[in-house]
Structure 1
Amino acid sequence: MPNEPNNKTEPSSEQDGTFLHTCMYFTTNRLSRAITRLADEAFAMTGLAPAYGYLVRLVIANPGITQKELSEKLYITPSTLTRFIDKLEGKQLVERQVQGKTVLVYPTVKGTAMKETLHEASKKLKAAYEAKLGKELADALTRMQESASELLEQ
């Protein structure tokens, strides 16, 4: 009979969790955790978390960059950026200078001395994910994520 419950039914996607593997939110967070582990390993040599390392790289490349520009380039809120810069100032890697209402960020001598180490950490990270994914997939995935981010932020 069609209306009788079937005791031999397969588990639903809700029960076995397969719906998670077709959900962009879940798969993006899973990917984020995996790449964060690789980044943490690659940047361990710098003594900085990857986000701090990339911030210092931007400041070294753009001495006097405004906090607003840094916030926009790193896609983080101004309050988060302020906390990051506070930590990096405490480590004597960057310094702020106020010009009117604008806050400019400069690398210190100690920060500038990290330039090659930060580049090496970035190269190590890229090599690690390319070794696992292959260069073509890594490049394609990066481009697709960038495009998707742009579209979702509109």
Structure 2
Amino acid sequence: MTKQPHNDFAQQDDAFLHSCMYFTTNRLSRAITRMADEAFATTGLAPAYGYLIRLVVGKPGITQKELSEKLYITPSTLTRFIDKLEGKRLVERQVQGKTVLVYPTDKGKELVPSLRQASHTLKEKYEAILGKELADQLTHNHELASEQLER
């Protein structure tokens, strides 16, 4: 009679995933991204574009450099985002010397209430699942961890 090999290695091999910040953060990111995409679907924009417009409306003439820093995205990614939003006539760029300033259009400004509502809907949905206290705690802890890891 042959003995079946014991599969402890396979069980231990995937256990590391559940204690790995990289894996668990990406898993959480995919879940919250799905929820955000659903909440922002009513605006016709992806969440990142919505947040960009809100920043531009909040500070007309904001520099591209400041936007990329606030959104934690590379300048090249920001340029692509702004290109797309300019194509939709939601923002416009103005060059002053070597600085590029971004302004909202009237059409972009009109979107702000629906963008705020989408953000509110997203927050309500994850708070309903996690509870307000845990949602606030996770947000705070992720902010602190991001700041420390980016140093």
Q: What's the TM-score once normalised by structure 1's chain length?
A: 0.93
> Which has the larger helix fraction?
2
User: 1:114-145, CA deviations, whole angstroms, 9 ceiling, x for partnerless residues?
Assistant: 11001000000100110111000000000000
Matched with 1:13 is 12
How much has 1:13 moved relative to structure 2?
1.2
Unaligned runs of 5+ in 1: none
Matched with 1:58 is 55
Matched with 1:130 is 127
How much has 1:12 moved relative to structure 2?
3.7
2:86 pairs with 1:100: no
CA distance in 1, matches of 2:87, 2:98: 22
Q: Which runs of 4+ in 1 moved over 3 A?
A: 5-12
Matched with 1:120 is 117
Find the residue that maps to 2:102 and give its secondary structure.
Answer: strand
Count, aligned residues:
148
Q: What's the TM-score once normalised by structure 2's chain length?
A: 0.94
Matched with 1:111 is 108
2:70 pairs with 1:73: yes
Q: Among the aligned pairs, what percent are the same residue?
A: 72
CA distance in 1, matches of 2:7, 2:46: 48
CA distance in 2, matches of 1:86, 1:133: 36
Unaligned runs of 5+ in 2: none
Find the residue that maps to 1:114 and give its secondary structure.
Answer: helix
- Which residue of 84, 87, 102 corresponds with 1:87? 84
Find the residue that maps to 2:89 and give its secondary structure.
Answer: coil
CA distance in 2, matches of 1:12, 1:119: 45
One-letter amino acid of the counterpart of residue 72, structure 2: Y
One-letter amino acid of the counterpart of residue 84, structure 1: F
CA distance in 2, matches of 1:51, 1:60: 14
Find the residue that maps to 1:63 and give its secondary structure.
Answer: coil
How much has 1:7 moved relative to structure 2?
4.3
One-letter amino acid of the counterpart of residue 42, structure 2: M
CA distance in 2, matches of 1:75, 1:9: 43
